Amino acid sequence: MQFYEFCTKWEEEVDKSEETFEEQRLFWEESEEVAAVLDGVADRLGFNGTEDRDDGSKEETRLTRGHLEVMYDLCRFWRAFYPEHPSAWCVAFSKEDLKVRLDSLQDVSI
């Protein structure tokens, strides 16, 4: 339970305000740091290219920032709940990705 969740002013002026998360959104969508992580993870997992479909057509296999965000959240939560067990979600990221680049995302969060 967090005390500010019961504050109407906080809810209206902070939580529901688009301006509150603008810096975080810009970092996630436009920063070179996140682009570098996305490229590295896509390379490690083989998501840069095309794949043959059953009908003979080609399908682009591309990792998106949305995929990356979900993978990072799963990695963080797994590491928090099971620190002694390696996470399948974390192996996609390099140590540099996790320490320097993606942790910067938390620095711009409120």
% the chain with pLDDT above 90: 15
pLDDT of residue 110: 44
- How far apart (Å, rounded) are the C-alpha atoms in residues 7 and 11? 6
Task: Output the CA–CA distances (angstroms, integers) from residue 8 to 12, 17, 31, 39, 108, in the order listed.
Answer: 6, 13, 33, 41, 24
pTM (global) more than 0.95: no
* pLDDT tens track for 75-92: 989 989 998 998 899 999
* pLDDT tens track for 25-76: 777 777 888 888 899 999 998 887 777 778 877 777 788 888 888 998 899 8
Does residue 109 carry a pLDDT above 60?
A: no
Strand partners, 50: 60
